[in-house]
Amino acid sequence: MQDILPFGARGAVVVTGDDDQAYLEDYLGQAKKLGRLPVTYFLHPLTRHVAESLARHEKGCLIEWELHPDALDTPGEYATRLAEQCEWFHKLTGRRPRFLRNHGFLNDGYWGHARPWLDQGIVGSSNLPGVNGNVLNGSLLPARLSLNGVLTSHWSQLTAFGDGVFFIYDWDATVAIGAILAAAQQIIDSGVPGVLVFNVHPANHEKAAPMLDAVHRLVEDLGFAAMTFGSMIDWFAERDACRDSSTSDDMISPFVQTRIDSSDQSVSVRKSRLAVAADFARRAFRTVASLGSRVGGGH
């Protein structure tokens, strides 16, 4: 039987970031906090990036560029705007986008944007906007979209955590790290693999630093794998097609040191940190669960 997740990991993390016209200095600042973690950036049509800056930023990093379509001013013309922005993306990157997340949580009823996505060859979307760890759709694994009675080729994946928690709920580092470790511990305790997607805008890299710190802990201490959004969808698409899934260069195996500002650690040290992190997660769970019941869901 094939593993559910790469490397046989019990959980996985995916870091994404909405471009939102961030300054390139913010991208560089976030790169330092990401270390060796893979990241998928969704580029806004008015991004400050050009082809040369994309190439420079990719050096030494595991980066995937995808599309952050913006039709907030003309939501009724979403299909047209998406087609135009897919062409823009092609000119910028040399290829068509495969994945997207809409700008501003734009939606159109119940999967109203699915047809334009399929028309443009969009393979997957990260358009289910969780923010505080609530599993809004009941699953932490990607799923194929059914449309008009047909199982399509499009995959959807929930975003579990977003940097909005630092602005909407005024979470501090302790609450954020505790909530993330608790969510990871729930996956481990359940025995059901799950993928936690974290959306961290480059412009918010300072405020949201605790979130990325927690992601490092999940890989280094709790044994989660890390990958880009695209490699995650590709992994499940291969399995769905009854083909052998294989790991790729933009995946990080469990218990690998992902921070670049500290030396590699031995397995025994990592296991010790694992025990500490797991204990902290269990103790934090009751507090975080209580907090979640008070604040509820949100964007």
Q: What is 79-118 written as a DSSP string?
A: HHHHHHHHHHHHHHHSS---EE--GGG---TTTTTHHHHH
Q: Is residue 55 part of a domain?
A: yes
CB 229 within 8 A of CB 99: yes
Q: Which residues pair with 251 in a beta bridge?
A: 227
For 208, residues 6+ apart whose C-beta sits below 8 A from its C-beta are: 163, 166, 200, 201
The pLDDT, as a whole number, for residue 60 is 86
pTM reported for the whole predicted model: 0.88
Q: What is the pLDDT of residues 108-149, one digit of tens each?
A: 999 999 999 999 999 999 999 999 999 999 999 999 999 999
Distances (CA, A) of 145 to 44, 113, 130, 150: 25, 12, 18, 8
Q: Mind listing the pLDDT tens digit for each residue in 34-77?
A: 999 999 999 999 999 999 999 999 998 999 999 999 999 999 99
Count helices and strands in the chain by DSSP H and E runs: 8, 11
pLDDT reported for residue 1? 58
Instruction: Provide the 8-state DSSP code for 73.
Output: S
Instruction: Please tell me the distance from the alpha carbon of residue 205 to that of residue 30, in angstroms, as a whole number.
Output: 5
| Residue 1 in domain | no
Residue 29 within a domain: yes
pLDDT at 246: 84
Domain tally for the chain? Answer: 1
Residue 290 has pLDDT above 90, yes or no: no
d(CA 144, CA 125): 10
Helices marked H in 133-221? 173-190, 209-220
197: β partners: 14
Query: Is residue 105 in some structural domain?
Result: yes
How many CB atoms are closer than 10 A to CB 223? 21
CATH number of the domain enclosing 221:
3.20.20.370
Return d(Cα 30, Cα 14) in angstroms, integer.
15
Which of 139, 126, 134 has the alpha carbon at shortest distance from 4?
Answer: 139
The per-residue pLDDT for 256 is 96
Distance, CA of 20 to CA of 101 (rounded, Å): 12
Output the furthest CA–CA distance in the chain (Å, rounded).
57
Q: What is the dihedral of CA 275, 169, 134, 188, to 10 degrees?
A: 0
- Between CA 46 and CA 33 the distance in angstroms is 24
Question: Tens of pLDDT along 225-276?
Answer: 999 999 999 999 999 998 888 888 899 999 999 998 654 443 433 444 454 4
The string of DSSP codes covering 199-223 is E--GGGTTTTHHHHHHHHHHHHTT-
Residues with Cβ within 8 Å of residue 113, at least 6 apart in sequence: 78, 82, 102, 106, 107, 127
Flag whether 41 is in a domain: yes
| Residue 297 confidence (pLDDT) | 39
For residue 271, give the nearest of 283, 259, 254, 251 by alpha carbon.
Answer: 254
287 pLDDT higher than 50: no
- Do the Cβ atoms of 235 and 12 come closer than 8 Å? no
- Structural domain range at position 245: 6-295
